[in-house]
Amino acid sequence: MGKGSLHWEGELTMNIEVGKKALVTTDNWFFAPNGQSYRAVFGTVKNIHTTEAIFGFTPTGKSTNWFLEIGDMLIAGCQIHYALRTDKCSDSPAANYSADAANGIKEYQTPCQIYFADGKG
């Protein structure tokens, strides 16, 4: 794949371009270098790599065949759930809620669950 962009053809064209910022949600929680777990990444897209370019060999069987380099991390293509091209991303706490029959709806704030791969500076 090399340098390029991911995009969806159709009514909406959304380009995730090298050199531009993006917000990417992942299918699973991951640990960042700061030891915290996150479910999304915000940062500058640096490249789109083939698996062979990353590991030096072509794996057999079921595995991803590309990776997105964003900020200081790589995300396997098969782990990307949503991708949004944006220049801004909030690091504020997020509103959340839980609900059950006995207690009804409980609203609360959760810490930001987005990893800022370019740093917050």
Is there a domain that residue 105 lies in? Answer: yes
30 within some domain: yes
Q: pLDDT per residue over 73-92, tens digit each?
A: 999 988 999 999 999 999 99
pLDDT (tens digit per residue) in 31-65:
998 899 999 999 999 999 988 888 888 777 677 78
* Strand, helix or coil for residue 77: helix
The range of the structural domain enclosing residue 50 comes to 5-116
Asked if residue 17 belongs to a domain, the reply is: yes
Q: Please indicate, yes or no, if residue 121 is contained in any of the structural domains.
A: no
| Integer Cα distance of 5 and 15 in angstroms | 6
What is the mean pLDDT of the segment spanning 97-101? 92
Residue 42 lies in a domain: yes
pTM recorded for the entire structure: 0.78
73 belongs to a structural domain: yes
The number of distinct structural domains making up the chain is 1
pLDDT band at 12 (very low <50, low <70, confident <90, very high): very low
- Cβ atoms of 15 and 45 closer than 8 Å: no
**pLDDT single digits (tens) 1-10:** 444 554 544 4
